Chain A
Amino acid sequence: MSPRAKRAAIKSPGRPSILATRKSQPLATTNGTGAAGQRLEVRKTYKLYIGGAFPRTESGRAYEVLGAKGELLANACRGTRKDIRDAVRAARTALPDWSARTGFNRSQILYRIAELMEGRRDQFVGEVMAAEGVARQRATRLTDAAIDRWVWYAGWADKFSQVTGSVNPVNGSYFNFSVPEPTGVVGVIAPEASSLLGLVSRLAPVIVSGNCAVVLASESRPLPAVTLTEVLATSDVPGGVVNLITGLRRELVLHLAGHMDVNALDAYGLDPAQGVAVEELATENVKRLVRPPTKGADAVDWLSPNAQSPYLIGEFVETKTVWHPIGS
C-alpha cells in the first residue's frame, strides 16, 4: 500500500469530519446566501456504480479521500465483499448482450465515451489536479491522453479479430478458422497513482472486445474514477458493462481475486507485494491473470504509447477454433 493509501486507510472511519469547516470556493455570482455573502458550493456525493445505477455501498460506510496537501476532497464509499458480489452479478447479467454487440457498435460506443469526456474535460482536469496533486498543465495532458485512449481503443473494436484471428490451412479437407471471443467477467484492479489515465488504459482494452468489468478504483485517488462512471452511464454503455467499487484494497482485492464467477483478473494496478495471495486465489477457478509490472504500476509512464496495445486486448480474449468438413 502506498503511503498515501495508508494515510487514507488510517484516517477513514470514525474521525470527526472536517467537511463543516472546509471553505467553499468564492463565486462571481451573488445569488447565494452564504454566511460571508458567498454562494455555498453544492458538493457531489461519490457513489459506487453497479449495473448502471449509482448505489451507496451496502455497508453504509465511507472513508475520507484526501488531496495532495492532505485536504479533504470528499467521502468515498468504503465498498465491501457484498458490493463486489452485486457488481459481479451485474457484469454477468450484462455479458450476453454486450459480447454479442457487433464490433462496429462497440466501436461507436467507446468513441461516444471519448465525446462525453471531452465535454467534461475541465471537470476531469480539476479532479486529476486535486487527486494527484499535479499542476493544471500536467493534469490537462493526462486528461487529454485518457480521452484519446478511448478513441484509440474504439478503433480496435472492429479490427482486433482481423489482426488476431486466422484461417488455418490444415492438412485435410476441412475449413478451419480461429476467432477471439471475450473471456467474460474481468476484474480490474486499477492503478493506485494514475487516477484517470491509468484506469482508462486498463479498462478500455478489457471492454472493447465484449468483456464486462468489475473495477476496484484507486484507493487513495478514487474520485476521477467515479466521475468517469457518470460519463459511462450517459455514453450508451449498457448498465453492468462497467461496475466500479471504491474502498480499501485490503478489504476488497482478495474477494475479487477469489470470486468464482470472475473469469479473468487484471492485477496490473496491484502492489506487486500483494501479488502472491491474489494470484493463488485467482487460480481457484483458473482465472486468466495479468500480473503487476515488476516495479509496480505506479512506475509506469501512462503517457507513453507503450501503455496502449492490441496485445493488451489479447490478454482478455479466448481463441475459439472451428472445424468443418469441406464436401459436396
Chain B
Amino acid sequence: MTLVKKPETRPAAASWGLSKRGTPWEYAAAPEATDHIEIRREYGLFIDNAFAPSRPKATFQVINPATEELLSRVAKASRADVNRAVTAARRAHDTVWSRLPGSERAKYLYRIARIMQERSREFAVVETMNSGKPIKESRDVDVPLAAAHFFYYAGWADKLDYAFPGRTPRSLGVAAQIIPWNFPLLMLAWKIAPALAAGNTVILKPASTTPLTAYLFADVVRQAELPPGVVNIITGPGEIGMELVRHPDVNKVAFTGSTAVGKMIGRAVAGSRKKLTLELGGKAANIVFDDAPLDQAIEGIINGIYFNQGEVCCAGSRLFVQESVYEPLLDKLKARLSTLRVGDPLDKNTDVGAINSAGQLAKIAELVQSGIEEGAEIFQPDCVLPDKGFFFRPTLFTGVSQSHRIAQEEIFGPVLSVLTFRTPEEAIEKANNTPYGLSAGVWTEKGSRIFKMVAAMKAGVVWANTFNRFDPTSPFGGYKESGYGREGGIHGLGAYLDLSSNRASGR
C-alpha cells in the first residue's frame, strides 16, 4: 500500500486560494438579487385562508441569520388561536375537503406544485434569507424538491384505492404538523402534500426562526383557491406546538425535529387515539472501504456533512475510514474542505452559509469545545468569516473515539468526526452503536459487500456510493430513536390514512 505523502504545511488545494481574500483566484461576489421579492413587515396567522393577528395580539421577530437584520414580525399564536385553527381545519375536513372527489383534490395539488415552480426564485431567495442556507441549495434542492413533492402526491389523491390492497382508505381528519428550521419549505411540502392528498386538512406550525416561506406558501394557497381551512399556518414558540398536539380534535400528529421533543410529543399523545409519525435526530455513519472510489467518496463525505451547514438530521456526521486508506483519504478531505466557500448565503458561489440561529451556533461551539477537551484533534480551514451573522467554520475531528460526545451526540452543524476500522464487522458494530438509526452511507466498489453492509445498517435510509439524496417517491424515516413512520413514496401516504376498514369483498 503506497500512502500519499502528507503535505508539508497546508493541503495543496488550498493554494487555489478560494477561501482567502486577496489571492489572485478570489471569486467575484455573485449575490442573488433580492429586489423582486417582497417580505411583509408583519405576518398574521393564516387561518381559513385569511391572515389575521393573534388574539391577543402578540408578535415576535424573524431575522436573517446571515446579517442579524430584522426581516419581519410574525404573529405569536395563543391557545385561543390554536382552537380557531383546529376549528377551521375540522370544518373544512368534514364539510369540504374529505368529500371532494380525489380527482379534484389532485388538481388543487397540481396547481400548488405549478405555482411553486412559477414562483421558485422568490421561494429560494426568501428561504435563503430566512434560514441562512446557500442560495444554490435552496434554488437547486429545497424548492424544486418541495414542488416535486406536491406534484407526486397530487397524483395519489385519486388513486388511493390502488395503493393498499384489501383496504378502503379513509382520511384521518385534522393533522397537526410541526416542522424544524433546517428545511423550512421542504419539510412543509413533506408534511402538507401527502396529508392533503389523503383528504386530511392541516394546521402547520413552522419553526419560530423560519416561518417566512410557510407564509409565502400561504399566498400560494390563496392563488390556488384552496377551500378555506384546508391549510392553516400558525406561528409561535414550542409551547404552542404542544397545545396543538394536545388538542382533542386533532387526529394526526406529524413531527420532525429533535429526539428530545419527539419524546415529549409521544408522551403528550399517550392515551389518545391520535396517529403519530416522528422524524427525529440522527448520527449517521458514512463508511469508506479501501476499494472505494476515493475522489467520489470525498465529494460524498463533503456533501454528507457540510450540505446545509450540517444542519441535517441524516447528515453523515461520523466518518468511518478503513485504516489502509486513512491517510490518503484524510489528506484529500482536508484539501477539499479548504476549498469550501463560507459566507453570504445569497452569493451563488457560497458552499456553506449561516447557522440558523445564535442558539444553534452556541450549541455547535459547545460541542466542538467538548471535542477538543476530550482529546480529539481539530482541523478547520483558514477561511475568513463575515463580521456579522452566525457562521461556523467547516470542522473535522480526527482521533475521535466512540465514547466522545462528538461521536455520540447530534451536533447539527458542519462538524465531522473521523474514526477508523479494519474489518466490515468492526464497521458494522461501530456504525450501529448509537441510539439513532436514521441514515447511513457505504462506499465500496464491491457489490456483494454493498449488500452485506446495507442489510446490516440499522438505519432507515442507506446511501451506497452516494449520500444525501432525496426524492418524493423515496420513503424516508428512522429506526430506533430516530423516530417512526415514513415520509415520501407510498409508505408516506399510508401515514396519513385510516386503513382499518376492510373492503367488503376481501380480507
Please give, as numbers and ranges, the residues of chain B lying within 8 Å of A284 by CB-CB distance. Answer: 263
Q: With A170-B471, A279-B270 in contact, is A319–B263 under 8 Å at CB?
A: no
The reply to whether A323 and B270 form a contact with Cβ atoms under 8 Å apart is: no
Among B61-69, B231-239, B361-369, B475-483, which stretch is in contact with chain A?
A: B475-483
If A279-B271, A291-B273 touch, whether A285 touches B435 (CB-CB below 8 Å) is yes
| A280 lies within 8 A of B278 (CB) | no
A: contact size bracket: 35 or more
Say which residue of B270, B273, B466, B481 sits within 8 Å of A286 (CB atoms). B481
* 8 Å CB interface, A157-178 against B: 163, 166, 168-172, 174, 176, 178
Let me know if A321 is at the binding interface, CB within 8 A. Answer: yes
Given A166-B490, A286-B266: A322 and B462 interface contact (C-beta under 8 Å):
yes
Q: Which of A291, A305, A322, A323 interacts with B507 by CB under 8 Å?
A: A305
A259: chain B residues at CB < 8 Å are none
Q: Which of A305-328 contact B (CB under 8 A)?
A: 305-306, 308-309, 311, 318-325
Task: Tell me the chain A residues, 133-191 only, with Cβ under 8 Å from chain B.
Answer: 163, 166, 168-172, 174, 176, 178, 183
Instruction: Tell me the complex Cα distance, A91–B435, Å.
Output: 18
Nearest CB of chain B from residue A278's CB, rounded to whole Å: 8
Contacts of A170 in B (CB 8 A): 469, 471, 473-474
Roughly how many angstroms separate A324 CA and B273 CA in the complex, as a whole number?
39
Q: Is the CB–CB distance between B491 and A319 below 8 Å? A: yes
Given contacts A176-B474, A178-B489, contact A285 B481 (CB under 8 A): yes
Which B residues lie within 8 Å of A288 (CB)? 484
B465 touching A286 by the CB < 8 A rule? no
Q: Once the chains bind, are A169 and B463 in contact (CB under 8 Å)? A: no
A29: which B residues are within 8 A, CB to CB? none
Query: A324 and B464: CB pair below 8 A?
Result: yes
The distance in angstroms between the C-alpha atoms of A306 and B269, with both chains bound, is: 26
- For A320, the chain B residues whose CB sits under 8 A away are 454, 457, 459-462, 479
| A318 vs B465: C-alpha distance when bound (angstroms) | 22
Nearest-CB distance from B194 to chain A (Å)? 15
Q: In the complex the two chains form, is A323's CB within 8 Å of B464's CB?
A: yes
- How far apart sit A323 and B468, CA to CA, in the bound complex (Å)? 10
Counting residue pairs across A and B whose Cβ atoms lie within 8 Å, the total is: 116
Complex CA gap A285/B474 in Å reads 26
Least CB distance, A206 to chain B, in whole angstroms:
16
Contact across chains for B489 and A166 when beta carbons are under 8 A apart = yes
Query: Chain A residues with Cβ under 8 A from B271's Cβ?
Result: 275-276, 279
User: In the assembly, what is the distance between CA of A321 and CA of B499, in Å?
Assistant: 23
**Which residues of B sit under 8 angstroms from A168, Cβ to Cβ?**
471, 473-475, 489
In the complex, which residues of chain A have a beta carbon less than 8 angstroms from the beta carbon of B489?
166, 168, 178, 321
**A174 with B462: CB separation less than 8 A:** no
A275 touches which of B270, B469, B472 (Cβ 8 Å): B270
Determine the chain A residues whose CB is within 8 A of the CB of B263 once the complex forms: 283-284, 286
Q: Does A294 contact B (CB under 8 A)?
A: yes
Q: Smallest distance from the beta carbon of A37 to chain B beta carbons, Å?
A: 54
Asked whether A178 lies within 8 Å of B474 as measured between CB atoms, the reply is yes
Q: Tell me the B225-255 residues at the A interface (CB within 8 Å).
A: none
State the Cβ distance, B42 to closest chain A Cβ, in Å: 38
Q: How far is the CA of A279 from the CA of B271 in the complex (A)?
A: 7
* B267→A283 contact, CB < 8 A: yes
Q: Does A263 contact B (CB under 8 A)?
A: yes
Interface residues of B in 92-108 (CB under 8 A from A): none
Report the bound CA distance from A286 to B437 in whole Å. 12
Residue of A nearest to B270 (CB): A279
Question: In the complex, what distance in Å separates the CA atom of A221 from the CA atom of B477?
Answer: 39
Q: Judging by beta carbons under 8 Å apart, are B471 and A286 in contact?
A: no
Partner of B502, one of A166, A178, A306, A325: A306
B476 with A321: CB separation less than 8 A: yes
A168 to B490, CA, bound (A): 9
B148 within 8 Å of A by Cβ? yes
Closest Cβ neighbor of B467 among chain A residues: A323
State which of A176, A285, A291, A319 has its C-beta within 8 Å of the C-beta of B486: A319
Contact A324 B267 (CB under 8 A): no
Q: Is B259's beta carbon under 8 Å from chain A? A: yes
Q: What CA separation (Å) do A61 and B474 show in the bound complex?
A: 52
Query: Is B179 in the interface zone, CB < 8 Å from A?
Result: no
List of A residues within 8 angstroms of B262 by Cβ: 286
Q: Please state if B461 and A321 are interface contacts (CB–CB under 8 Å).
A: yes
How distant is the Cα of A320 from the Cα of B482 in the complex, in angstroms? 13
Known interface pairs A168-B474, A305-B507. Does A311 touch B464 (Cβ–Cβ under 8 Å)? no
Which residues of chain A are within 8 angstroms of B435 by Cβ–Cβ distance?
285
Contact B469–A174 (Cβ < 8 Å): yes
Contact A323 B460 (CB under 8 A): no
Minimum C-beta distance from A35 to chain B (A): 55
The answer on a CB contact under 8 Å between A319 and B484 is no
Beta-carbon contact of B273 and A294 below 8 Å: yes
Q: Is the CB of A276 within 8 A of B466?
A: no
| Residues of B with C-beta under 8 A to A285 | 435, 480-481
What B residues does A324 contact at CB under 8 A? 450, 464-466
Contact at A276–B273, with CB atoms within 8 Å?
Answer: no
* Contact present for A178 and B475 (CB under 8 Å): yes
Contacts of B461 in A (CB 8 A): 320-323
Q: Which residues of B contact A172 (CB under 8 A)?
A: 469, 471
Cβ-defined partner of A321 (8 Å) among B462, B466, B483: B462
Given contacts A323-B461, A324-B466, contact A286 B473 (CB under 8 A): no
Residue contact A319 to B477, C-beta cutoff 8 Å: yes
Beyond A178-B474, A325-B465, is A171–B259 a contact (Cβ under 8 Å)? no
User: What B residues does A286 contact at CB under 8 A?
Assistant: 259, 262-263, 266, 278, 280, 480-484
Q: Does B139 contact A (CB under 8 A)?
A: no
The smallest C-beta distance from A161 to any residue of chain B, in angstroms, reads 13
* Contact of B121 with A by CB under 8 A: no
Q: How far is the CA of A171 from the CA of B464 in the complex (A)?
A: 17
* Residues of the A chain whose Cβ atoms lie less than 8 Å from the Cβ of B31: none
Task: Let me know if B165 is at the binding interface, CB within 8 A.
Answer: yes
| Cβ B466 vs Cβ A174 within 8 A | yes
In chain A, positions 120-135 with a C-beta closer than 8 Å to chain B are none
B136 proximity list for chain A (CB < 8 A): none
Q: What are 6 contact pairs spanning A and B, CB under 8 A?
A: A166-B490, A170-B469, A279-B267, A283-B263, A286-B482, A311-B499
Task: List 7 extra interface pairs beyond A275-B270, A286-B280, CB under 8 A.
Answer: A280-B270, A283-B270, A291-B273, A306-B502, A311-B167, A320-B459, A321-B475
Q: Which 3 A-B pairs have the closest CB atoms?
A: A283-B266, A279-B270, A276-B271
